[in-house]
A and B are shown apart, each in its own frame.
Chain A
Amino acid sequence: MPIQVENLSHTYMPGSPFSSVAIHNLSLTIADGEFVGILGHTGSGKTTFVQHLNGLLMPTEGRVVVNGTDITARGAGLRELRKQVGLVFQYPEYQLFEETVVKDIAFGPKNIGCTKEEIDERVRWACEQVGVDYETTGKASPFEISGGQMRRVAIAGVLAMRPKVLILDEPTAGLDPEGRRSILKMIQKLHRDNNMTVIMVSHNMDDIATLATRLIVMNKGTLEMEGTPREIFRQAKRLKKIGLGVPQGAELAQRLIREGYEIPDDLYTLEEVCDAVLKLGEVSRGV
């Protein structure tokens, strides 16, 4: 399911006094099995952009090609597309509505016309993926469980569609550190075990640093930078200029370099920096 975005522009309420350009002339490709992180300051057009990938928004100009079909053309099978490209919105727990968790997760598969057995199988699978117990939590009302659990259930609701591409918009926003860690772990597992293409929107550098294989940095509706985390996080100055930062690891590495320690200048995870510092110690002790 490769995704090609060509010269995409999106203007909200065009032709009215309230019209505003959210995305301007954006082009990029996302290959199968990638884990893409989309970074950007609030209002940089990240959310608007991802809504184009499963046809929730239509571009004002340009086109989006998913798996060889132009989804922006008239009569493109949007339902088929939404089966393939799952989108988890920011604060997805606010979309829960059914009487029980299981029924809520089953909403998607039911809409795409799965049989009863198939629905049940998908719901069980989705529950397992997100770490929600089918027998106990599954019978509860989605309004009685904890915030972290609600988030998982909402993600399961999208996973039950069995998408090949999973898009998550700020999946860890508003969660406590424990909830954040486990959601991230779960996303990583989905990517690794099911070979799912994952596109994750975030402005938390540390979340994205450890997971993504490629980063896309957006600024004011345009593509600002693109590359591997290592390439992107070296450019701390540029990132800070557009209201972003670098992961703690990169921050620490830069500080050490400024203080005169000789470590490589492209480190960005804390583990890497630790290793580099330890190695420095070994050298100075003459091991």
Chain B
Amino acid sequence: MFKDITLGQYMPGNTVVHRLDPRAKILLTIVYIAMVFTVGSPLFYVIPAAYVFLTARLAGLKFRQLLKSIKPLRILLILTFILNVFFSGGETVLLQWKFITISQEGLLLAVHFSLRLVFLVLGTSVLTLTTSPVALSDGIEILLTPLKKVRFPVHELAMMMTIALRFIPTLIEETDKIMKAQKARGADFESGNLIARAKAMTPLLVPLFVSAFRRAGELAMAMEARCYHGGEGRTRLRVLQFTREDGRAFIVSFSMLTLLIASAILW
């Protein structure tokens, strides 16, 4: 039952996209998001589409892997589409039946917003598919460093993220084990109504919380035993460095963004 969790969806590889500095990749993703939002009419999604599919191609990702990231979004997508089609009104009526009106503008808007959602998710998926969680939180930490000036706990946040990511598989394994142990004692997690099912979770959640707290305590102790005392004066094992490849990626991305902005103004 835990096979569907795609939190750690990183696909290891050694392509240009994989090698890019995580900081660069995060910034480029922001540029890409800006691109998606500047698109004025559905036709111009060609540009972010070309961008995202070319990047995916360079990263050696399969089309199917990309599509999988949209799957959890399907209900939201359908809802967005339906709401926009039926409730946005418009001049050119295409179809009218009782109280339902479908206009050309509404249809266009529905396609527009659905595509926007799809491309947002596709782009961020390329980021998470090609960047390991550790590199990602490293990148976020450095990018957020300026916030330290206003006493924002940047290092702590990044450390928490890294630890949380590290423990997801461990906790999944633990859940599976406790679940099996309770099943062996005749517990039933699968049948009954909502309330019965919620109640049936107690024998699973209590041991899981107990062990999560125990683990947290042990980890804190182990970190302190190795003299961890927060981010102050801490150096890195892997120092991030921008390379020519990063520069090139920036140039390409910004030219595409400019192109889009120009098109949005001209049309």
Residue-wise, chain B 166-181 has the 8 Å CB interface mask toward A (1 for contact) of 0000000010011011
Complex CA gap A86/B185 in Å reads 8
Given contacts A94-B211, A95-B178, A143-B210, contact A87 B184 (CB under 8 A): yes
Interface string of A79-99 (1 = CB under 8 A from B): 100110011010010111100
Size class of the contact patch on chain B = 10 to 19
**Interface of A toward B, CB cutoff 8 Å:** 13, 51, 54, 56, 79, 82-83, 86-87, 89, 92, 94-97, 107-108, 111-112, 143, 157-158, 161
Looking at B174, B183, B210, the one whose CB has the most chain A CB atoms below 10 A away is B183
Q: Give per-residue flags for B189-207: 1 if the beta carbon is below 8 A from chain A beta carbons, else 0.
A: 0000000000000110011
Cα distance, A96 to B210, chains bound together (Å)? 10
Instruction: Across the interface, name the chain B residue whose C-beta is closest to A16.
Output: B3
Against A, the Cβ 8 Å flags (1 = close, 0 = not) of B216-245 are 000000000000000000000000000000
Q: A95-B207, A107-B203 are in contact. Are A56 and B187 (CB under 8 A)?
A: no
How many residue pairs, one in A and one in B, have C-beta atoms under 8 Å apart? Answer: 58
Inter-chain contact A79/B177, CB cutoff 8 Å: no
Interface residues as binary, B1-35 with A (CB distance below 8 Å gives 1, 0 otherwise): 00100000000000000000000000000000000
Enumerate 7 A-B pairs (CB-CB under 8 Å) in ascending A order. A86-B184, A87-B181, A89-B180, A95-B185, A97-B203, A107-B186, A161-B186
Q: List, in ascending order, chain B residues with CB within 8 A of A13's CB.
A: 3
| Cβ–Cβ contact A97 & B202, under 8 A | yes
Complex alpha-carbon distance, A118 and B24, angstroms = 67
B156 part of interface (Cβ distance < 8 Å):
no
CA distance A143 to B207 in the complex (A): 10
Which residues of B are found within 8 Å of A96, using beta-carbon distances?
207
By a CB distance below 8 angstroms, the chain B residues around A92 are 181
**Shortest Cβ distance from A17 into B: residue:** B11
Given that A94-B178, A143-B210 are contacting pairs, would A158 and B184 also be in contact in the complex, using a CB cutoff of 8 Å? yes
Whether A95 contacts B182 by the Cβ 8 Å rule is yes
Given the known interface contacts A89-B180, A92-B181, the answer about A97 and B188 at a Cβ–Cβ threshold of 8 Å is no
How many Å lie between the Cα of A13 and that of B206 in the bound state? 28
A residues near B203, Cβ cutoff 8 Å: 95, 97, 107
Alpha-carbon distance between A111 and B185 when the two chains are bound, in angstroms: 7
B187 touches A111 (CB 8 A): yes
Chain B residues, CB < 8 A from A111? 185-188
- When distances are taken between beta carbons in the complex, the residues of chain A under 8 Å from B184 are 54, 56, 82, 86-87, 89, 158
A43 to chain B, nearest CB (A): 15
Q: How far is the CB of A136 from chain B (nearest CB, A)?
A: 23
| Contact (Cβ within 8 A) A112 B186 | yes
Point out the residues of chain A lying under 8 angstroms from B207, CB to CB.
94-97
| Pair A97/B206 contact, Cβ less than 8 Å | yes
Task: Spell out B's residues near A (CB within 8 Å).
Answer: 3, 174, 177-178, 180-188, 202-203, 206-207, 210-211
CA distance A83 to B187 in the complex (A): 11
Chain A residues within an 8 Å CB radius of B188: 79, 111
Structural contact, A107 and B187, CB atoms closer than 8 A: yes
Could you tell me if B183 and A89 are in contact, using CB atoms closer than 8 angstroms? no
B180 near A79 (CB under 8 angstroms)? Answer: no
- Output the nearest chain A residue to B205 by Cβ-Cβ distance: A97
| A89-B181 contact, Cβ under 8 Å, with A13-B3, A94-B207, A107-B203 | yes
User: Which B residues are in CB contact (< 8 Å) with A112?
Assistant: 186
Whose C-beta in chain A lies nearest to the C-beta of B203?
A97
Complex: chain B residue closest to A92, CB-CB:
B181
A143 / chain B contacts, CB cutoff of 8 Å: 210
Taking CB atoms, residues of chain A closer than 8 Å to B182 are 95, 107
Q: How far, in Å, is B216 (CB) from chain A's closest CB?
A: 15
The answer for the CA separation of A82 and B183 in the assembled complex, in Å, is: 8
Residue of A with least CB distance to B184: A87
Name the CB-closest residue of A to B204: A97
* Cβ contacts under 8 Å, B180 to chain A: 51, 56, 89
Tell me which of B178, B185, B188 has the highest count of chain A C-beta atoms within 10 A of its own C-beta.
B185
Query: Chain B residues near A161 (CB, 8 Å)?
Result: 185-186
Once bound together, how far apart are the Cα atoms of A111 and B200, in whole Å?
10
CA distance A161 to B185 in the complex (A): 7
User: Once bound together, how far apart are the Cα atoms of A83 and B186, in whole Å?
Assistant: 7
Closest residue on chain A to residue B11 by CB atoms: A17
Kindly provide the distance from the CB of B109 to the nearest chain A CB, expressed in whole angstroms: 40
Docked pose: A107 CA to B206 CA in angstroms: 14
